[in-house]
Amino acid sequence: MRSTPLRFLAVSLALAASLFAGAASAADAPAVAKTRKAAEQGDAAAQSTLGWMYGKGEGVAQNDAEAVKWFRKAAEQGNPQAQYNLGVMYHQGQGVAQNDAEAVKWWRKAAEQGDAKAPYSLGWMYSKGQGVAQDDAEAVKWYRKAAEQGDAKAQFNLGLMYHQGQGVAQNDAEAVKWWRKAAEQEDTEAQFNLGSMYSKGKGVAQDDAEAVKWYRKAAEQGDAQAQFNLGVMYGTGRGVKWKDDTEANKWIRKAAEQGDVDAQYTLGRIYNMGLLGVASSPAEAVKWYRKAAEQGDVEAQYSLGNLYAAAGRGVTQDYAEAVKWYRKAAEQGNAHAQFSLGLIYQYGKEGVAQNYAEAVKWYRKAAEQGNATAQYNLGERYEKGQGVAQDYAEAMKWIRKAAEQGDAQAQLFFGLSYRLHNNPVQNEADGVEWFRKAAEQGNANAQYVLGLSYAAGLGVPQSDAEATKWYRKAAEQGHEGARKALEKMSSR
């Protein structure tokens, strides 16, 4: 079962939600008049507050340009809140032309006076190289200042820098330390990452129960990835008293309903295979696979293709639709989807014209990734000259690759090649060994040919007992030639 890995994207600037700092929540007309009078008389705090009023439209008509005007007046007098808010306006391009260099300038002034929010913003700008040259060490410096003042997002990002070794020596124990501080302030990102660290035993002793604890905290705040991972823990019985299918389904579904692609794929698989105590429902499987597939999940795309290719599996059989989803997965490098496309094009199906060249194209892609059946099928196309110029050497190259990976059909074919007149090295004993490999995997044709080899003493000492043994195995699988060979031997 999948699980969602650590999050590696630093928390972005969340300025709009906190805009603006340091003012009352409402303003009536007398309060506005009093504030304006004080601001016009040069009171920096009043100027900052008036800027906030214009920015939020509190007691006055909302006006970003007026907000900037009053923030600037207060900022130039050294008011740290106004300096911070003026930086916000420059960063967002509100009431003034967007200018990250100016934003950095004013945030730096605010930070140097101890403003609590400015260090985090500076850390972010250095991390991303916005308004300043990118500098991870400077980002760490400012994140640390904010983190030490208790800023949860800065604590999260500082943990991230330690985990990734950016601007500081890589240190998972330090990452855990800072994520814990943020997690204890109910930061869901930190709670999720802390759960992942406990799950993997990075920076802390591996502890599934602690992983579950932190995943649960984030999950109960609505974090979809934490909900999915918590569901996985229940589904596998890790970190909980006992495996609980009901809880597993509950949390995986919550995540899936929020659009978590891993949860959607997993829920599709649960319905497709009837896992975790859920009755198999191909229609539900299709529904959830489709949601994940439409988000680009390669395994969901492949699985959805399989359901369209199979008769009556949640959708009407539709090879054209199967090809559509296989192709999406194949273009992302999924070898199984590449092989499936090759197979459909090799034989042609309703709504999909036979096309050996396309079959070869997709078999080759899968074969180059080590898919043994694709290697055999590609070799067979070279041997027959279908979709490519006939090339026996190239055929044997790919069939050997498949045979060496244990593909029984390839082993049989390769064994037979030792008996062909166009094999430059004819060696009956080597051929028999390939027959044996395939026969031991249950390939009926190989069992029959191995029986023939023993009966005739080709590549092995002649042995009626061994011949009978292998004929019988093939006959038990319905091989007609083996059945007749047994009858002939028994009539001697």
Q: How far apart are CA 171 and CA 326, in angstroms?
A: 42
* The two structure tokens encoding residue 301: 């795309």
pLDDT tens digit string along 154-193? 999 999 999 999 999 999 999 999 999 999 999 999 999 9
CB 264 within 8 A of CB 294: no
- Residue numbers of the chain with a pLDDT score lower than 70: 1-27, 420-426
Residue range of the domain that includes 467: 412-492
Residue 446 lies in a domain: yes
| DSSP secondary structure letter of residue 413 | H
With respect to residue 474, please indicate whether it lies within any of the assigned structural domains.
yes
Q: Among residues 435, 456, 433, which one has the least CA distance to residue 444?
A: 435
Question: Per residue in 32-45, pLDDT tens?
Answer: 999 999 999 999 99
The contacts of residue 449 (CB under 8 Å, 6+ apart) are: 412, 415, 416, 435, 439
Query: At a CB cut-off of 8 Å and minimum separation 6, what does 353 contact?
Result: none
Q: What is the pLDDT of residue 428?
A: 81
Q: Is 73 a member of any domain?
A: no
Give the count of domains, the chain. 1
- Residue 447 covered by a domain: yes
Q: Would residue 245 count as lying in a domain? A: no
pTM of the predicted model as reported, rounded to 2 decimal places: 0.84
Cα separation, 154 vs 469, in Å, equals 73
Q: Number of helices and strands (H, E) in the chain?
A: 27, 0
Whether 303 is in a domain gets the answer: no
Q: Is residue 240 part of a domain?
A: no
**Is position 419 within any domain?**
yes
CATH number where 423 lies: 1.25.40.10
Query: 332-367 burial string, b = 16+ CB within 10 Å, else e?
Result: eebbbbbbbbbbbbbeebeebeeebebbbbbbbbbb
